[in-house]
Amino acid sequence: MPYMFKIVNSGDGAVGKTSFLKRFTSGVFVEQSQSTIGTGFFTKSVKLENLDHADLTIWDFGGQGRFRDILRDFIIGAYGALLLFDITRYQSFSNLREWITLLRSKEEDYELPILLLGTKCDLADVREVFPEDIDKFVEDNNLIGYFETSSKTGINIEESVKFLVQYIFNHNKGITQHRSVY
């Protein structure tokens, strides 16, 4: 029987959240993507160590301020979160604390595991956010880890999501098979 995991995907607008999920679920990169209006979701089954497989439903949220309030409702029942920023836009990094506050605002028995993802690592020559700042941020905010990703090249797309799901499975004793993902 598969395990079912609900995960939320968050971060500022235009950091590449939807491109990341399209690459993860279908292996496709779309050069020009439209901004997500409200919410959407993507599904994929993955195989992990100690698991036959896990069925993932990853909720994708528009990063504009007007959509942040609806994120609170969708966090309920989530096992983990992907938090994305664009390594070429410092502002997207400086807004991460607001996203963490929002992601951790749900009233559950455990702190939601958050994995930080720096997108667009294929553009590292124009990066505005540097590893030493990122490492300190991850530690200061009790995040479970950090990956630099590229939806264009596929770098760390599959690996980062599998890392989050394996972390959830290893650290959450209350996981049951077939838990609702909505």
Is residue 122 in some structural domain? yes
CB-based contact 138:20 (threshold 8 Å): no
Dist. CA 144–CA 163, nearest whole Å = 9
Of the candidates 134, 81, 86, 125, the one whose C-alpha atom is nearest the C-alpha of residue 103 is 81
Is residue 105 in some structural domain? yes
For residue 38, what pLDDT band results from cuts at 50, 70 and 90? low
> pTM above 0.95?
no
CB-based contact 103:132 (threshold 8 Å): no
pLDDT in tens, 145-172: 999 999 999 999 999 999 999 999 888 7
Is residue 181 in some structural domain? no
Is residue 180 in some structural domain? no
pLDDT in tens, 120-141: 999 999 999 999 999 999 999 9
Is residue 179 in some structural domain? no
Q: What is the CATH number of the domain that holds 119?
A: 3.40.50.300
Is residue 176 in some structural domain? no
Number of structural domains found in the chain: 1
Is residue 22 in some structural domain? yes
98: containing domain: 3-171
Is residue 108 in some structural domain? yes
